[in-house]
Structure 1
Amino acid sequence: MKKNLRVLLLAAGPGLLAPAGAALAQTAPATQPALGAQQAIGTLPLTLQQAIDYAIQNKSTLLATRLGEQTARAKVGEIRAAGLPQVNVAANVADNFKLQKSLVDFGALSGASATTLTSADIAAAQGGQTVNLKNITLPSEPMPPQAFAFGLQWAGNSSASVSQLLFDGAYLIGLKAAKVYEQLAQKQTQQAEIDVVEQVSKAYYSTLVARERLQLLSRNVQRLDTLLYQTNETFKAGFAEKLDVQRLQVQRNNLVVEQQKASRLTELSVALLKFQMGLPQQQGVQLTDSLSAAVVDAGALRQRLGGANFATGGGVSGLGQVPTAPSNADAQNRQDQQTALSGARTGQLAAAFNYNNRIEFSTLETQQALAGLDLANRRAGAYPRLLATAAYGFSGSGKTAGDLFAFRGPDSRAGNGFPNQNWFGFGNVGLSLQIPVFDGFRRKYQVQQARIQQQTIERGFETLRQSIDLQDAQSRTTLINALDVLDNQKANLELASEVARVSRIKFKEGVGSNIEVVTAETSLRESQTNYYAALYDVLVAKVDRDKATGELYNQAKK
């Protein structure tokens, strides 16, 4: 991304700066107030720290990532709920328009004695008369089973049941895994915040550099306007040639076009900053941090990095003055290549590096913990599962729907005095023990998959360490090289400024040529372009270095 943005801003012409910079110093004044989530349309004073704080609170990608945190917390609640009492209430009504029949062997009752009750006997009993029932002997002839329908056409029931998990090995492990999963979601959010801090920092400082470059171009135009005016007046007085005026006019035209392009690209860098912050594009901003406050002492930075000083070569190893010529060029080249590949990282610095400063390493550790819990959970599938259960309800029946919903209890009587209850209660309590015996080796293969996943993550630690080591060495080397280039371009800029100043004085005094002035001005602008490009590279390299060492997020939180 850095390369693409730099090409975008440098493609319009020499001297234009890329809209992606980085901060050498990421702190902001403590007295600056934090931005709110909503800002009124207008010019908004904005420090780097305020830009970072606003982005962390309002960037849409971060908001989406935080929804993952909420999902993780909800997942923890879901797993925990499995261990709480489970209460269910159910009710149903059925119209048995065709009752199911069952075969009943009435022949088993043949040869036995029974009591007959005729309709006349019932009428006499209802009339208050005494009725003597007679015993009869049932025929002994065999009788085939007869179809008999039980129940009535309309039936219904309602019940409430409660179950409580008493023991489940997988549930206990699941609770631990849910908490670890929540930690993983938090670390993923932190990773996203680090990316946002990096993007906002680069965009903010690139805007500062582009603005500084634009101001310098404006001063160049003003200086050239003055020189053009003076040359034109000298031409009118007959002491200069028209060609001298035309050359300066061409130079001014090119510089004005370059200034216009730089102005548009500065606006583009501001738009990029707003995008990285999640700020509406119609919101005007005014960057209040200065570019000079972002640049730290290069010598102190080299000392901390373990790199040699550009002027003297005296780094942490105390090499002393840089020799005028190496005694053995081939040996010196091999040493330089080895130093570059190692990133000039001494043994003490390597030993002091803490991998846990990198959120990627911490995230992988959390994933490893999850994989271990998943393996334990698969193994816990062989443990018994014990639940306590209880239920209570009512069931009823009737010949018609109205009869069913009459809800007659045990004290209900028909007109003839007979009980006509149609709803009856029931209840039960008990224990439910579930013991897995054989599942077709399904759990065996699940355990194998979980173990392989755990081993894969363990292999990933070594790969991640190597990757972090490479990023550490690469960022160190890139930053040291960028500092060297910046020192060189700064020296070149000072020389070019002095040459341009002397050339202008000589031209005014009549002892220099117009071509010498134009050449010196062109060299000066080229030196300015190279200097700001080098400054951009240092800023980006510093942010990349802070990210590689895990310090970027902590600096933004200060």
Structure 2
Amino acid sequence: MNMLFPTRFLLAAALSAAVPQALLAQSSPAAMPAAPPTTGTMPLSLQQAVSYAIQNKSTLLATRLGEATAAARVGEIKSAGLPQVNVGATVTDNLKLQKSLVDFGALGGGSSATPLTAADIAAAQAGQTVNIKPISLPSEPVPPQAFAFGLQYAGNASASVSQLLFDGSYLIGLKAAKVYTELAKKQTQQAEIDVVEQVSKAYYSTLVARSRLALLARNVQRLDTVLYQTNQTFKAGFAEKLDVDRLRVQRNNLVVEQQKAQRLTELSVALLKFQMGLPQQQAVQLTDSLSAAVVDAGALRQRLGVASFSVGGAGAGNVPTAPAPATGTDPATQSRLDQQTALAGGLAPAALGAFNYNNRIEFSTLETQQALAGLDLRNRQAGAYPRLLLTGAYGFTGSAKTMSDLFAFRGPDSRSGNGFPNQNWFGFGNVGLTLQVPVFDGFRRKYLVQQSRIQQQTLERGFETLKQSIDLQDAQSRTTLVNALDVLDNQKANLDLATDVARVTRIKFNAGVGSNLEVITAETDLRSAQTNYYGAVYDVLVAKVDRDKATGELYNQVKK
């Protein structure tokens, strides 16, 4: 019952199974909204999509099975401290009994004899008393003889019990069990955060795709109206056939674009179902609106400490690589300074004070690994401690010349026909203490301890690397989000301008003071502005998800 091996196996498995992958997620909340029903068309908000994925995603279910496996391993280690009971029975057919040489000559002297002389015989015949004394004859040397002990058939039945009284490795293994369970739970949390990120991005992608598809449908309707009016004007002789043909070509292209967008929307829905672990045949209806999903750019900028693209504001100060914003700086200059600050990795003072590495599950996982490494070191050092066990056994042994006689099971009260005892099974029992004291193992334990110390030092270096990685991701996500917000503001302004230009161009064309070519050009520019705008919206939403992941708030943001 060696406790050293299973304890080391547990610690080694824990240290090798949970190396944190850089830049993943954060701790999960206590509860999530209930998953939506799966009958009919499933109404699906972002919270419901995340909740369903956490409960049904196959990769998460596999991760939870790993957590259950870890719990079972912990139980395996704990079971070694409980009494170990074994029951066994054997039956042996000694086809050829083993013989041993026995020196029977050493058991006694030579033979004895009674000598009679003629005088003794004559005296006896004369009625006289004769004393005859035996004499010892010299012994003949006899070589050792082969002698077989036992009978052909033998049996044994016994029960043994052992109880561990003291083992340093076992005590440390009990402490490691709790830490190992925590590590398995953190691995599950990390996998859950990955699923939240994937589902969120897929949900936003579907929202953008559906909104763009609806906009394309409205564009087709508007172009159909323009085409109808132009065709009627052509029939009245106030327009050229070339104008009608140009609009038909544009409409055909727009319809093809609408069909492509329809397929891409279906693909986005399929991707969302895949990320959720939802069957593809299940119909869904997204209940969140794109307008509600788009963050307020001004409020978000203020929280990031970055000036607004259009109106300026307080930038992020105290950054050595970027000058502090001057009072009264114009909006364009202020925005440029803020971009430089973000690119330099600068954070607002409030953000610097509020950031907590423990919000990231990777940091907490690494701390747990460090605790396991410390326990592994102590476990190997404890290999020098003695082990004490309490043992006990009780059973019966028997033998006979035949198999049937062996299973007669005759006890001490059994007698043969002539009254002699013929017992063939005999009981035995013992109780004892076993003390195992390691004395010298060829310096094996010394090198194992060295390995554990190196493992600890490696993890200590990993903390600094992980902090730098988290800082880098924080700066990158902040810069990406700020840039995406600026692009969104710019594309929104472009969309408003393109919409107004298209509206004025149509009015001029209907009034007969504008050309058909101007209408087509304005419509083309409007569709391009619409495409760019929705692309910017999606980039902002994805950047927001990445930002929440970098700060360790993704799960909490989805809950709200």
How far is the alpha carbon of 1:108 from its aligned partner?
2.1
Q: Distance in 2 between matches of 1:322 and 1:516?
A: 40
Partner of 2:368: 366
Tell me the secondary structure at the aligned position of residue 91 of structure 1.
strand
- Alignment partner, residue 422 of structure 1: 424
TM-superposed CA distance for 1:553, in Å, is 1.8
Deviation at 1:347, TM superposition (A): 3.7
CA distance, structure 1, for counterparts of residue 199 and residue 526 of structure 2: 31
- 2:84 pairs with one of 83, 86, 89: 86
- Tell whether 2:307 aligns with 1:308: yes
Q: Distance in 2 between matches of 1:233 and 1:322?
A: 56
Q: Name which of structure 1's ranges 512-521 and 156-165 shifts more when overlaid on structure 2.
A: 512-521
1:326 Cα deviation from its structure 2 partner: 6.1
The answer to whether structure 1 residue 323 and structure 2 residue 323 are counterparts is no
Give the Cα separation in 1 of the matches to 2:230 and 2:544.
45
**1:320, 1:530 → 2: CA distance?**
34
Structure 1 SS opposite 2:42: strand
Q: Which amino acid letter does the alignment assign opposite residue 55 of structure 1? A: A
Distance 1:88 1:113, change over 3 A: farther
Structure 2 equivalent of residue 541 of structure 1? 543
CA gap 1:454/1:72 in 2 versus in 1, 3 angstroms:
same
Number of the residue aligned with 2:6: none
Note if contact 1:47-1:289 (Cα within 8 Å) is conserved in structure 2.
yes
| Equivalenced residues, count | 501
Q: Distance in 2 between matches of 1:342 and 1:379?
A: 48
1:35 matched to 2:51? The reply is: no
Is contact 1:306–1:344 with CA below 8 Å preserved after alignment?
Answer: no
Amino acid aligned to 2:451: Q
Give the distance between the partners of 2:556 and 2:147, measured in 1 at CA. 83
The answer as to whether partners of 1:46 and 1:286 remain within 8 angstroms in 2 is yes
Q: Displacement of 1:346 after TM fit?
A: 2.6
Question: Which deviations, in whole Å up to 9, do the C-alpha atoms of 1:242-279 show, x marking residues without a partner?
Answer: 11111111111111110010000000000000000001
Counterparts of 1:436-475 in structure 2 under 5 Å?
436-475=438-477
Deviations 1:355-398 (A, max 9, x none): 00000111111111111111111110010000000000000000
Match of 2:511 in 1: 509
Give the match for residue 215 of structure 1: 214
Matched-pair contact (CA < 8 Å) for 2:111–2:139: no
In the other structure, the counterpart of 2:281 is 282
Q: Partner amino acid for 1:205?
A: Y
C-alpha deviation, 1:102, in angstroms: 1.2
- TM-score norm. by structure 2 comes to 0.86
Q: CA separation of 1:418/1:234 partners in 2, compared to 1, >3 Å: closer, same or farther?
A: same
Question: Could you tell me how far apart the structure 2 residues matched to 1:491 and 1:166 are?
Answer: 78
Which residue matches 1:54? 52
Which AA in structure 1 matches 2:545?
V
Matched residue, 1:520: 522
Cα distance change of structure 1 residues 183 and 324 upon mapping to structure 2, 3 Å threshold: closer
- Contact 1:413/1:421 (<8 A) preserved: yes
Helix, strand or coil at the partner of 1:381: helix
Distance (whole Å) between structure 2 residues aligned to residue 473 and residue 286 of structure 1: 36
- Which moves more between the two structures, 138-147 or 426-435? 138-147
Q: Structure 1, residues 256-311: CA drift from partner, whole Å, max 9, x if none?
A: 11001000000000000000000111111111111111122111111111111111
- After TM superposition, give the deviation of residue 44 of structure 1 in Å: 1.5
Is 463-472 or 242-251 further displaced after alignment?
A: 242-251
Higher mean C-alpha displacement, 548-557 vs 232-241 = 548-557
Question: 1:48-87 CA deviation, whole Å, 9 max, x = no partner?
Answer: 1111111101111001100110011001100000000000
Deviation at 1:225, TM superposition (A): 0.2
CA distance in 1 between counterparts of 2:135 and 2:398 reads 36
Which residue of 1 is the match for residue 243 of structure 2?
A: 244
In the TM superposition, residue 337 of structure 1 has moved relative to its aligned partner by: 6.9
Tell me the distance in 1 between the aligned counterparts of 2:332 and 2:419.
128
Q: What one-letter code is carried by the residue in structure 2 that aligns with 1:98?
A: K
Residue 357 to residue 202, structure 1, CA distance change in 2 (3 Å) = same
Q: Is the Cα–Cα contact under 8 Å of residues 495 and 526 in structure 2 kept in the other structure?
A: yes
Q: 1:18 corresponds to which residue?
A: none
What do residues 127-177 of structure 1 show as CA deviations (whole Å, max 9, x unaligned)? xxxxxxxx9989744433221110000001010000000000000111111
Residue type at the aligned position of 1:50: Q
The amino acid that maps onto 2:63 is: T
Distance 1:259 1:93 in 2: 84
The alpha-carbon deviation at position 432 of structure 1 amounts to 0.3
Provide the rounded CA distance (Å) in 1 between the counterparts of 2:138 and 2:468. Answer: 98
SS state at 1:545 partner: helix
Residue pair 1:307, 1:344 contacting (<8 A) in 2 also: no
User: What is the Cα deviation at residue 112 of structure 1?
Assistant: 8.8
Q: Deviations over 1:226-251 (max 9, x none)?
A: 01000100110011111111111111
Distance in 2, Cα, partners of 1:161 & 1:138: 55
Contact 2:502 2:526 in 1 (8 A): yes
How far 1:482 sits from its partner (Å)?
Answer: 0.4
Structure 2: gaps spanning 5 or more residues? 1-28, 113-133, 317-324
Q: Judge conservation of contact 2:227–2:248 (CA < 8 Å) in 1.
A: yes
1:380 aligns with 2:378: no
Could you tell me how far 1:343 is from its partner in structure 2?
A: 3.4
Indicate if the aligned counterparts of 1:314 and 1:321 stay in contact, CA closer than 8 A: no
For 1:457, the aligned partner's letter is L
Q: RMSD over aligned Cα, in angstroms?
A: 2.2
